[in-house]
């Protein structure tokens, strides 16, 4: 019994932070004379609720570099769901007791956050995410075959993920490979050094070709920063080349 009461209390406390702008508005309106929140106070309350939602989303995800944008997006979604739910409940309830209504709103928001976190964890289970090292059957570039390799996931789609292959063969003489530290992911590898391709188009691996249900670990942050830098450089190069080609076509178009 006490365990159930503890869970309910925990959900109410979490919900209080998530829908703080709603119940604080009701609290101020119930004063004599009625009070109103100003813009700065409302902004602060919304910020507190947003940080709470982002923290819940962050706690549900796996540890990996570059996941802050995902946590922020999921936090915004969770916050929107909780506020919409609280406003809907406030319209449906007419008890005349603002504290009772606020308690119900907070409990509902806490339950929504709990369900949202469980769904988020289930969604990530078994799904390769950018910034993680996985073991998979990675395709060769020059022929239609695959081989068992570690790889860094850099993107994902509906049916397959984009990866950069990791190899234990010495690639110090190759400009398109860099050393990748083994800390955090190479627990079962007998090799002391590893190299990862970089500056090359990612390889595409169907989700069914990933050999484990969980990642080896997060990509080292130094390596992930190099991957992102190369991707931004490639994007700028592609845009520059596209603009150059378009500019070259303009004179001929005008001449016609």
Reduce the DSSP state of residue 135 to 3 states and report it: strand
pLDDT, tens digit, 9 for 90 and up, residues 105-157: 999 999 999 999 999 888 877 789 999 999 999 999 888 899 999 999 999 88
Omega of the bond prior to 33 within 30 degrees of 0, cis?
Answer: yes
Same domain, 145 and 234: yes
Q: Given pLDDT bands bounded at 50, 70 and 90, which one contains residue 188?
A: low
User: Quick one: 95 and 171 in the same domain?
Assistant: no
Give the CATH number for residue 139: 2.30.30
Is the Cβ–Cβ distance between 128 and 214 less than 8 Å?
no
Half-sphere exposure of 174 (CA within 13 A, CB side): 14
- Domain span at residue 227? 132-252
Q: What is the DSSP string of 27-52?
A: HHHTSSS-----HHHHHHHHHHHHHH
pTM given for the model:
0.73
The reply to whether 7 and 113 lie within a common domain is yes
In the chain, the number of structural domains is 2
Do both 136 and 189 map to the same domain? Answer: yes
191 confidence band (pLDDT: 50, 70, 90): low
> What residues pair up with 146 in beta bridges, in sequence order?
139
Paired tokens of 32 = 């004599």
Q: Are residues 154 and 209 in the same domain?
A: yes
Rounded to an integer, what distance in angstroms lies between the CA atom of residue 117 and that of residue 14? 13
Verify that 156 and 72 share a domain, yes or no: no
The predicted pLDDT at position 253 comes to 46
Q: What is the pLDDT of residues 61-96, one digit of tens each?
A: 888 887 888 899 999 999 999 999 999 998 888 777
**191 shares its domain with 225:** yes
Distance CA 118, CA 15 (A): 16
Q: Which of 72, 95, 124 is the last residue of a domain?
A: 124
Are residues 136 and 119 located together in one domain of the fold?
no
Is residue 3 scored above 80 in pLDDT? Answer: no
pLDDT of res. 251: 59
Domain boundary, last residue among 87, 108, 124: 124
239 and 184 in a common domain: yes
Q: CB under 8 Å to 145, separation ≥6 — which residues? A: 139
Has residue 46 got a pLDDT over 90?
Answer: yes
Residue 65: how many other CB atoms lie within 10 Å:
18
Is 93 in the same domain as 150? Answer: no
Contact status, residue 170 vs residue 212, Cβ threshold 8 Å: no
- 179 in the same domain as 92: no
Span 240-256, pLDDT tens digits: 777 777 777 765 544 44
Question: At residue 30, does pLDDT exceed 60?
Answer: yes
As a residue count, the chain comes to 256
Instruction: State whether 75 and 143 are in the same domain.
Output: no
Q: Among residues 102, 124, 146, which one ends one of the domains?
A: 124
Mean pLDDT score of the chain, rounded to an integer?
A: 86
Percent of the chain surpassing pLDDT 90: 43
Q: How far apart are CA 199 and CA 193, in angstroms?
A: 20
User: Reduced to 3 states, what is the DSSP secondary structure of residue 177?
Assistant: strand
């Amino acid at each position: 019994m006490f365990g159930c009461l503890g869970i309910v209390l925990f959900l109410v406390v979490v919900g209080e932070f998530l829908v703080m702008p709603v119940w604080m508005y009701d609290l101020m309106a119930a004063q004599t004379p009625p009070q109103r929140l100003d813009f700065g106070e409302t902004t602060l309350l919304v910020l507190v609720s947003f940080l709470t939602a982002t923290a819940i989303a962050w706690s549900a995800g796996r540890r990996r570099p570059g996941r802050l944008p995902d946590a922020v997006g999921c936090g915004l979604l969770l916050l929107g769901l909780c506020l919409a739910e609280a406003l809907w409940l406030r319209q449906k309830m007419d008890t005349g007791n603002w504290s009772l209504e606020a308690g119900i709103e907070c409990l509902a928001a806490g339950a929504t956050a709990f369900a949202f976190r469980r769904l988020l964890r289930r969604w990530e289970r078994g799904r390769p995410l950018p910034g993680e090292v996985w073991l998979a059957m990675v395709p060769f570039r020059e022929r239609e075959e695959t081989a068992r390799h570690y790889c860094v996931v850099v993107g994902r789609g509906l049916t397959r993920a984009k990866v950069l292959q990791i190899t234990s063969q010495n690639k110090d003489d190759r400009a398109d490979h860099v050393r990748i530290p083994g800390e955090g992911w190479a627990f079962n590898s007998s090799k002391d050094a590893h190299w990862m391709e970089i500056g090359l188009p990612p390889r595409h691996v169907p989700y069914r070709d990933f050999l484990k249900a969980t990642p080896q670990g997060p990509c080292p942050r130094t390596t992930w920063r190099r991957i992102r830098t190369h991707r931004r450089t490639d994007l700028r190069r592609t845009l520059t080349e596209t603009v150059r080609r378009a500019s070259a076509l303009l004179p001929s178009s005008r001449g016609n």
